[in-house]
Structures are given as C-alpha cells and as structure tokens.
Amino acid sequence: MLIHIINPNTTQRMTDAIAAAARAIASPGTTIIATQPDMGPASIEGYYDEAYAVPGMLARIAATKADAHVIACFDDTGLDAARCVTSAPVLGIGEAAFHAASMVAGKFSVITTLGRSIPAIEHNLTRFGLASRCARVRACEIAVLALDDPASDASTRISAEIAAALAEDRAEAIVLGCAGMAALAARLSAQHGVPVVDGVAAAVAFAEGLVRLGLKTSKIGGYAPPLPKTYTGSFAAFAPT
C-alpha cells in the first residue's frame, strides 16, 4: 500500500519530520511518500498562508499516484478541493485526530500553536460535526517553525495548557494541534495520564484502514471531479480536463 503524505508548507525540515512520524506508525506493508509543494508559504499560520499553500498541494496530489493521501497541516488546508482531484481517500491530520480522540474519550481539548489559528480549527470542528466533542481549542502561542527550537520551551508550554485543559475543560483526551508537535505525543500522554493524539499518526493509521476497507471518496455531490474548463494566466496548466 502506498500512502502519500503532503506537508502543505515548503519547509523541507518539516516535511522530513512528518515523513519520519508517518513511517514510524505505518504498517509493514505500507510505503510512505512524503512531498511538499513547489510553491507556497514556509509555514501555515492563518487563512492567507492557507490560500497560497493549496494550489501547489493540489498539483502534488493530482500528480502522485497513491492509495490514499494525507494532508499534514492541522488546519486541514484544502481538504475539500483535494477530495475533488482523486478518488483515493484523502484525510486531514486535524480531522483524523478529532475522529481518533472521539473513539477513546468523551471530550477532548485541542492545543494549537497561535491563537490566530483557533477560529479556523473551530470552523473545521463544526463542519466535521465533532464540535460537540471538543471541550475547547487552546493555543500555546509558539510559532510553527519554533516548535522544534530547543529555545522555544514548547514542550513546557504545551504541557501547561494540557494541565489547564484537564482541570478547567473536563477534557478526557488531548489533541495536539500542529504537525510539528508529533514528536511530543507519547511523552505528554505518559506525563498527564490521558490519551494525547498526534494527527500525523492518526491520519496514516486511518488512511491505511480506509484503503483496506476499499472505501473511496464519493464522486457524487460536493466531491465530484472538477468540470473541464479554461484556467487563465499562470494557472492555465491547472485547468481540469
């Protein structure tokens, strides 16, 4: 089985870390291909970055033959559009993490990077239908690219938010709200005694499951293939045919 995981930002170091996290969870028979777009932002922090991450990401997905695709940004950037360009299953890591947490706990809280990302995550929870399972979306106020900087004190601040979530939100599980936090999940889970879900791992595991189930993205309704039409200017090459 071939799973394509795309880091929608263009930071190679992050793509490598995501690939490593994906391979660590993948089943023996699964091959992971990790890519990043040709063009776009070095990290995704807000709606504007999302908008410029999507075109390159969609091109990569369209060009990559795989049994399933994983979008490795917690905002689930471009998820709906990606489902239009392939009949293979496509999972976002935020979406996958919400589903996983819902299977092992009544309520979960999310710890994301910056407060500015909270509204987008709340929108996704509402659309996915799982908002009622989320006690609260919290931010540790550390920038995405600083997460792996030892000077950022990221682990300590995320841990403090987890403690607050358990005490104040009555959360029964924690979802880590950024692909860059993948390496911390196991330790934080042990430390706090609750399930701590990393979306990269969750998405790979569920993508394998969907492939084994033979389920493909529905092609009637919202995820129907794009209609053939003219695209102009520098996007001409992306026109659906």
Q: What are the distances in angstroms from CA 167 to CA 93, 149, 162?
A: 26, 28, 9
For every residue of 197-221, DSSP letters joined together read EEHHHHHHHHHHHHHHHT-----SG
Q: Tokens 């999302």 — which residue?
A: 50
Q: How far apart are CA 54 and CA 81, in angstroms?
A: 9
Q: Contacts with its own copies in 201-230 (CB under 8 A)?
A: 201-202, 205-206, 208-210, 212-224, 226-227, 229-230
Min dist. Cβ of residue 54 to its own copies (A): 5
One residue of 16, 31, 65, 126 binding its own copies per CB under 8 A: 126
Min dist. Cβ of residue 166 to its own copies (A): 7
Q: Contacts with its own copies in 70-109 (CB under 8 A)?
A: 78, 80-81, 83-85, 89, 91, 95, 99-100, 102-107
Q: Contacts with its own copies in 143-182 (CB under 8 A)?
A: 143, 166, 170, 172-173
Q: How far apart are CA 241 and CA 45, in angstroms?
A: 32
Min dist. Cβ of residue 150 to its own copies (A): 21
- Decide: is 232 part of the binding site for its own copies (CB under 8 A): yes
- Decide: is 132 part of the binding site for its own copies (CB under 8 A): yes
What number of chain residues touch its own copies (CB under 8 A)?
98
Q: What are the distances in angstroms from CA 90 to CA 3, 5, 158, 201, 235?
A: 10, 10, 28, 14, 23
- Decide: is 113 part of the binding site for its own copies (CB under 8 A): no
Min dist. Cβ of residue 75 to its own copies (A): 11
- Looking at residue 87, its amino acid is S
Nearer to its own copies, 157 or 216 (CB): 216
Q: Contacts with its own copies in 45-74 (CB under 8 A)?
A: 45-52, 54-56, 58
Give the rounded distance of the alpha carbon of 33 from its chain centre: 16
Min dist. Cβ of residue 195 to its own copies (A): 5
Q: How far apart are CA 70 and CA 184, in angstroms?
A: 20
Q: How far apart are CA 29 and CA 202, in angstroms?
A: 17
- Looking at residue 12, its amino acid is Q
- Token pair of 239 as six digits: 């026109």
- Decide: is 31 part of the binding site for its own copies (CB under 8 A): no
| Binding piece for its own copies, criterion CB under 8 A, among 13-21, 151-159, 175-183, 190-198 | 190-198
